[in-house]
Amino acid sequence: MKYEVVVIGGGQAGLAAGYYLRRAGLDFVILDDQTNAGGSWQDYWPSLHLFSPAEYSRLPGWPMPSWHSGFPPASHVVDYLQVYEKKYDLPVRRPVAVQSVHRVDGGYRIDTDGESYGAAAVVNATGTWSRPFWPSYPGMREFGGTQLHAADYRTPDQFVGKRVGIVGGGNSAAQILAEISTVAETLWFTNREPRFLPDDVDGRVLFDVASDRARALASGDADTGGVAGLGDIVMVPPVREARERGVLHARPMFTALTSDGVTDGHTTETLDAIVWCTGFRPALHHLRPLHLHADGSGIMLDGNHVRDEPNLLFLGYGDWTGPASATLIGVGRTARAAVDTLARRGKVDQP
């Protein structure tokens, strides 16, 4: 099968790309390794909520339906993405697992667990959720309790009455700690003191900050670093409630695990379980055959496309691919810019 553009990944970034590819009149297909529509949102823990109202959490073309109270849960986002895909009749094929991408005359060959696809251009929108990052600490193999990554967390039920260490200084750690601390004793370990946003600041303000940053970058102004010192953790209601209960206190990171806990070399804490909220890395294993040039911050990009390779584009990886590009509302802006990169050169030649 040959197309002008193959999009790898059918989550929010892939759907936003599909919206603009259709408007540009390009022949394309979206390959998604999930069984159902909804991207990684269908894999998040059930209690996860957005940081913004529904109207601030939309893909291009169609607003997210309103939520009856507070910020929408992950399940509402899944419903929205499923309907969005059908509404625009986007050509998504699933489940299709892309194994590798190779350069060929006229473009690329995309090999999957089934057939191969040809494309003049590739939009890579695989996200990060499938590649959780586990740090390495001495004693991890000797620890006798439960260890899991935030990617595998669902509910606090398995931690009832236990002593649980939460590792990480971001939003996932704060929200998971807030929930587990209602049924267990929690200890929060971070590499630096967590930075909290003011109570009245949510995703709407963060998006405005990111928009200002995008305009500054587009005009050639210096990068200000994004959140302008506001902080990292959004004080959603469960996190505020955890603060009121007095459990939202972080301690310095331990240096090793023991058979029954953790230690910093001086003090040892006994733990029954550890939840690693230590982030994710871009899922790019399928691109290894391309031998893309990288520096200390990752594959080298010019805007959304690989340097010296304008027909290989990346979408939805956070600041690496554009301010707020990993958010529902922010990915539309970067998807439009990516498709414009292709459309400005006219029709992409068929491979």
Three-state secondary structure call for residue 177: helix
Indicate whether 321 pLDDT > 90. Answer: no
Matching residue, tokens 């292709």:
342
> Which of 22-36, 67-81, 293-307 is predicted most confidently?
22-36
Whose CA is closest to 85, among 23, 16, 25, 8? 16
Q: What is the dihedral of CA 39, 42, 48, 53, to 10 degrees?
A: 50
- For residue 348, the model assigns a pLDDT of 56
Q: Is the dihedral of CA 209, 172, 281, 165 positive or negative?
A: positive
Contact yes or no for 47/75 (Cβ under 8 A) = no
Amino acid identity of residue 334, one-letter, is T
Contact yes or no for 155/193 (Cβ under 8 A) = no
To the nearest whole percent, how much of the chain has pLDDT over 90? Answer: 71
What lies within 8 Å, CB to CB, of 299 at 6+ separation is 284, 287, 292, 293, 306, 314
Read off the pLDDT of residues 195-244 as tens digits, 9 standing for 90 and up: 898 877 665 555 555 444 544 444 444 444 444 334 488 888 899 999 99
Amino acid identity of residue 248, one-letter, is L
Q: How far apart are CA 179 and CA 177, in angstroms?
A: 5
Instruction: Name the residue with higher pLDDT: 213 or 113.
Output: 113
Read off the pLDDT of residues 14-42 as tens digits, 9 standing for 90 and up: 999 999 999 999 999 999 999 999 999 99
Q: Give the pTM.
A: 0.88
Whose CA is closest to 211, among 324, 334, 92? 324
Three-state secondary structure call for residue 44: coil
- Strand 298-299, strand 301-302: pairing: unpaired
DSSP structural state of residue 29: E
Whose CA is closest to 88, among 334, 332, 340? 332
Indicate whether 126 pLDDT > 90. Answer: yes
As a whole number, the mean pLDDT across the chain is 89
- For residue 227, the model assigns a pLDDT of 40
Contact yes or no for 183/156 (Cβ under 8 A) = yes
Matching residue, tokens 């399940």:
75
Confidence bin at 191 (pLDDT 50/70/90): very high
Q: How far apart are CA 83 and CA 67, in angstroms?
A: 15
Q: How far apart are the first and last CA of the chain?
A: 10
Three-state secondary structure call for residue 192: coil
Indicate whether 54 pLDDT > 90. Answer: no
Read off the pLDDT of residues 82-101 as tens digits, 9 standing for 90 and up: 999 999 999 999 999 999 99
Contact yes or no for 334/320 (Cβ under 8 A) = no
Confidence bin at 111 (pLDDT 50/70/90): very high
Instruction: Name the residue with higher pLDDT: 217 or 170.
Output: 170
Please provide the size of the chain in residues.
Answer: 351
Instruction: Name the residue with higher pLDDT: 111 or 309.
Output: 111
Confidence bin at 159 (pLDDT 50/70/90): very high
What lies within 8 Å, CB to CB, of 296 at 6+ separation is none
Look at 12-16, 43-47, 158-162 and tell me which has the smallest mean pLDDT. Answer: 43-47
Indicate whether 59 pLDDT > 80. Answer: yes
Angle at 61 between CA 329 and CA 216, to 5 degrees: 40
Whose CA is closest to 84, among 40, 24, 19, 130? 19
Whose CA is closest to 257, among 247, 268, 266? 268
Read off the pLDDT of residues 249-293 as tens digits, 9 standing for 90 and up: 999 999 999 999 999 999 999 999 999 999 999 999 999 999 998
**What domains sit in the chain, N to C, each tagged with a CATH number?**
2-131+281-343 (3.50.50.60), 146-196+232-276 (3.50.50.60)
Whose CA is closest to 128, among 315, 310, 335? 315
Indicate whether 335 pLDDT > 90. Answer: yes
Contact yes or no for 275/201 (Cβ under 8 A) = no
